[in-house]
Amino acid sequence: MFKSQFLYEVLSEQVGGNLARIKCLSNLILGVIQCRSVNLTHLASHQATTAKHASEYRKLQRFFEQWSIPQQAIARLILKKIPKPAAGYVLSMDRTNWQFGSTHINILTVGIVTHKVAVPIAWMTLPQATKRGNSSYKHRISLMQQVLAFMPACDIYALTMDREYEHGEDRP
């Protein structure tokens, strides 16, 4: 069985929804792993189809424009696939900045740390008005509330963050 077929079947079962979108998501995930990039131009070249590069690129754009990824379903799938360590999961909160044309997109994410990488399980786009893309304590609390909606607190061993979160001007 091809990796994309296996991933497609797992996602269909766990996430559900439109099968064409699930197929696109499974190809997208494998593309990110293969080319180690989230750049849609690069990912269009790694799709498992015979379509032209421009068509694949536009399909990926439409995927992100038209589908709201069911975060909790994805998180539950990841939790099923990453065994919980005896002491509990180590989580990592971080902010990343992507640029789409001249627009900066700031994303605050929480991931499970496994094998020296963090696999995202929850994320939120920060408002454009945030100072240099920094998150506030309200954003961080809101994101952790999302995590606690599908992961019991007793399953968390530690939450790690950069120093920028230590002494913010926004503390209550």
- Within a domain: 96: yes
- Within a domain: 72: no
Give the chain's domain count.
2
Are 96 and 143 part of one and the same domain?
A: yes
Are 110 and 151 part of one and the same domain?
A: yes
Are 89 and 60 part of one and the same domain?
A: no
Are 49 and 114 part of one and the same domain?
A: no
What's the pLDDT score for residue 2? 55
Q: List, edge to edge, every strand of the sheet that includes 103-114.
A: 117-125, 103-114, 89-100, 156-161
Are 109 and 135 part of one and the same domain?
A: yes
Are 103 and 155 part of one and the same domain?
A: yes
Sequence-ordered list of residues with C-beta below 8 angstroms from that of 53, at least 6 positions apart, any chain: 44, 45
Per-residue confidence in pLDDT tens, the chain, 172 aa:
456 677 778 787 777 777 888 888 888 888 888 888 788 888 888 776 777 888 888 888 888 888 777 888 888 888 888 999 999 999 999 988 877 777 778 889 999 999 888 889 999 988 876 656 677 888 999 999 999 999 999 999 999 987 665 555 555 5
What's the pLDDT score for residue 1? 42
Instruction: Write out the residue range of the structural domain in which residue 121 sits.
Output: 83-165
pTM more than 0.75: no
